[in-house]
Amino acid sequence: MTRADLPVIDVVIAASCWEQQADAGRVVERALTTAAEMVEDDVGEAEVVVMLADDAALAELNATWRGIDQPTNVLSFPAPQPRAAPPRPPGIGDPPRHLGDIAIAYETLRREALEEGKPFNTHLSHLVVHGFLHLLGHDHIDDAEAEEMEALEREILAALAGPAMRQRSD
Question: What residues contact 77, with CB distance under 8 A and at least 6 apart?
Answer: 65, 100, 101, 102, 103
CB-based contact 7:46 (threshold 8 Å) = yes
pLDDT of residue 152: 93
pLDDT digits (tens, 9 = 90+) for 43-98: 767 899 999 999 999 999 999 999 999 999 999 999 987 666 666 566 566 667 88
- The mean pLDDT of 136-152, rounded to a whole number, is 90
Helices (H), the chain: 24-38, 55-66, 106-116, 120-135, 143-160
Q: Are 55 and 14 in contact (CB under 8 A)?
A: no
- 157 Cβ contact partners less than 8 Å away, ≥ 6 residues apart: 122, 125, 126, 129
Which amino acid is it at 170? D
Domain ranges of the chain: 3-80+96-163
pLDDT digits (tens, 9 = 90+) for 105-117: 999 999 999 999 9
CB under 8 Å to 163, separation ≥6 — which residues?
A: none
Q: Which helix (H) or strand (E) holds 47?
A: strand 46-53
- CATH no. of 3-80+96-163: 3.40.390.30
Give the residue from 161, 155, 142, 165 showing the smallest Cα distance to 39. Answer: 155
The pLDDT value recorded for residue 104 is 98
- DSSP state, residue 97: E
